[in-house]
């Protein structure tokens, strides 16, 4: 690893940090260290990093804004890539939006609303990056990324830069082909519609008020933990099973929203994983329904 780190530094492909604790980079504020964290400063550096690692057969992990992500207590071995401000670009061309992969999905929705463009209202409460939203087919309030995405620019694990159309991403509920085809989303192009600013602002205000009433946003969390099962809601099942407020270590099933697990201050990844397993076991036993986690679990166990 030391030789690899020396070679990476010599290649001038971004800031290199070793044994870097990842908890501060996640919205759950949980996670052990990365052996090597790389923060590329440009799109070209991102591609150069990927090519460098591919040529040496070194696996890598990408993190964006750290939402929807649980890093293990032992951390992540090998190389972790964290996209920086160089990919926070934004350009409006009429109702078409070109936006960088590390741009805030929430901020994008707000600025689109100010432009009088409708289609991104659902994103106003999704605290991740544009790249993460494209990867996960993020959605809320009956809409998702697949409905508005035109194309995405992706750096494959070979370092090749390709443009993928929406159909190429093979979207399904909280899923895209990028789950099995490793790559980094560097830019997305969304096709929106011209709308009434007052109506757009009204819808977003209503979504915001609902979130504030029903979600524990004042505590460290990662959003919804489980996917909603067909025809139902994970939160409803968990609440009816009497699991609100259940706690393991510093992790607790929110008393406000049962599909959120919050970090009360000193939660470990193992606390969260234990709660997830217990919820799955109890819901399966009581309702015969297998809850599937929506959060991504990364790192050494």
Q: Does residue 206 lie in a domain region? A: no
Q: Please report, rounded to a whole number, the percentage of residues in the chain having pLDDT higher than 90.
A: 81
Dump pLDDT digits (tens) for 8-17.
Answer: 889 888 899 9
DSSP element (H, E) containing 220: none
Q: Please report, rounded to a whole number, the percentage of residues in the chain having pLDDT higher than 70.
A: 100
pLDDT of 272: 98
The β-bridge partners of 140 are 143
Domain co-membership, 99 together with 78? no
Q: Does residue 240 lie in a domain region? A: yes
Residue 77 falls in the annotated catalytic set: no
Alpha helix positions (H), the chain: 2-10, 43-55, 105-114, 130-136, 197-214, 234-240, 269-287
Is residue 129 within 8 Å of residue 105, measured between CB atoms? yes
pLDDT of 30: 98
Residue of 20, 174, 176, 187 with catalytic role: 174
Residue 174 falls in the annotated catalytic set: yes
Domain co-membership, 77 together with 120? no
Dump pLDDT digits (tens) for 183-215.
Answer: 999 999 999 999 999 999 999 999 888 888 889
Residue 239 falls in the annotated catalytic set: no
SS3 (DSSP) at 151: strand
Is the pLDDT reported for residue 85 higher than 90? no
Residue of 72, 104, 224, 254 with catalytic role: 224
Q: Kindly give, in sequence order, each residue whose CB lies less than 8 Å from that of residue 204, ignoring residues fewer than 6 positions away.
A: 109, 110, 113, 121, 124
Domain co-membership, 188 together with 113? yes
Q: What is the pTM of this model?
A: 0.88
Dump pLDDT digits (tens) for 260-270.
Answer: 999 999 999 99
User: In which band, very low, low, confident or very high, does the pLDDT at 127 lie, cut at 50, 70 and 90?
Assistant: confident
Residue 286 sits in which domain range?
A: 216-298
37 vs 62: CA distance, rounded Å: 10
Among 199, 226, 243, the domain-final residue is 199
pLDDT of 162: 96
Is the pLDDT reported for residue 84 higher than 80? no
pLDDT of 17: 96
Domain co-membership, 185 together with 225? no
Q: What is the CATH number of the domain that holds 169?
A: 3.30.465.10
pLDDT of 188: 98
Q: Does residue 208 lie in a domain region? A: no
What are 270's two structure tokens?
A: 């193992």
Domain count, the chain: 3
Angle at 183 between CA 123 and CA 43, to 5 degrees: 80
pLDDT of 128: 87
């Amino acid at each position: 690893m030391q030789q690899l780190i020396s070679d990476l530094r010599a290649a001038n492909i971004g800031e290199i940090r070793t044994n870097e604790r990842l908890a501060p980079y996640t919205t759950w504020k949980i996670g052990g260290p990365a052996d090597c964290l790389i923060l590329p400063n440009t799109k070209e550096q991102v591609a150069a990093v990927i090519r460098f690692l591919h040529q040496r057969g070194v696996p890598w992990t990408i993190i964006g804004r750290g939402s929807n992500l649980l890093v293990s207590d032992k951390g992540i071995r090998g190389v972790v890539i964290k996209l920086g401000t160089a990919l926070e670009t934004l350009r409006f061309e009429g109702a078409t939006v070109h936006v960088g992969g590390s741009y805030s999905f929430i901020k994008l929705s707000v600025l689109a609303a100010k432009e009088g463009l409708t289609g991104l209202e659902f994103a106003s409460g999704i605290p991740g990056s544009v790249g993460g939203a494209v990867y996960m087919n993020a959605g809320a309030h009956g809409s998702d990324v697949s409905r508005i995405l035109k194309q995405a620019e992706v750096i494959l694990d070979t370092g090749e830069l390709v443009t993928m159309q929406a159909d190429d991403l093979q979207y399904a509920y909280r899923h895209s082909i990028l789950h099995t085809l490793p790559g980094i989303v560097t830019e997305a192009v969304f096709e929106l519609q011209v709308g009434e600013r007052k109506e757009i602002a009204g819808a977003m205000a209503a979504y915001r008020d609902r979130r504030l009433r029903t979600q524990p946003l004042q505590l460290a969390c990662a959003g919804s933990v489980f996917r909603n099962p067909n025809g139902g809601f994970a939160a409803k099942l968990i609440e009816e099973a009497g699991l609100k407020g259940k706690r393991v270590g510093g992790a607790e099933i929110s008393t406000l929203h049962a599909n959120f697990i919050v970090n009360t201050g000193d939660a470990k990844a193992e606390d969260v994983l234990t709660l997830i397993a217990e919820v799955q076991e109890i819901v399966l036993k009581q309702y015969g329904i297998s809850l599937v986690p929506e959060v991504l679990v990364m790192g050494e166990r």
